[in-house]
Amino acid sequence: TRLILATRNAGKITELRTILADADLGYDLVGTDAYPDIPDVKETGVTFAENALLKAHAMAAATGLPAIADDSGLAVDVLHGAPGIFSARWSGTHGDDHANLDLLLAQLADIGPEHRAAHFACAAALALPDGTERVVFGTMPGTLRYAPVGRNGFGYDPILQPDGYEVTCAELSPAEKNAISHRGKAFRELVPVLRELLG
Ligand code: ITT
φ, ψ (nearest 5 deg) of residue 75: -110, 120
8 A C-beta contact, residue 148 and residue 159: yes
Q: Which of 70, 71, 97, 157 is catalytic?
A: 71
Q: What is the pLDDT of residue 88?
A: 97
Q: What is the pLDDT of residues 95-154, one digit of tens each?
A: 999 999 999 999 999 999 999 999 999 999 999 999 999 999 999 999 999 999 999 999
**What structural domains does the chain harbor?**
2-198 (3.90.950.10)
Q: Cα separation of 199 and 197, whole Å?
A: 6
71 is catalytic: yes
Packing angle between helix 10-23 and helix 182-198, nearest 10 degrees?
A: 60
DSSP 9-75: -HHHHHHHHHHHHHHT---EEEEGGG-TTSPPPP---SSHHHHHHHHHHHHHHHHSS-EEEEEEEEE
pLDDT band at 199 (very low <50, low <70, confident <90, very high): confident
Is the CB of residue 72 below 6 angstroms from any atom belonging to ligand 1?
yes
Q: What is the pLDDT of residue 187?
A: 98
Is the CB of residue 35 below 6 angstroms from any atom belonging to ligand 1?
no
Is the CB of residue 63 below 6 angstroms from any atom belonging to ligand 1?
no
Q: What is the ipTM of this complex?
A: 0.98
State pTM to two decimals: 0.97
pLDDT band at 1 (very low <50, low <70, confident <90, very high): confident
Q: What is the pLDDT of residue 193?
A: 97
Residue 185: enclosing H or E segment and its boundaries? helix 182-198
Which pairing describes strands 133-144 and 117-127: parallel, antiparallel, or unpaired? Answer: antiparallel
Mutate to test the pocket of ligand 1, among 5, 70, 87 (most ligand atoms within 8 A of CB): 87
Q: Cα angle at 66 between 61 and 70, to 5 degrees?
A: 95
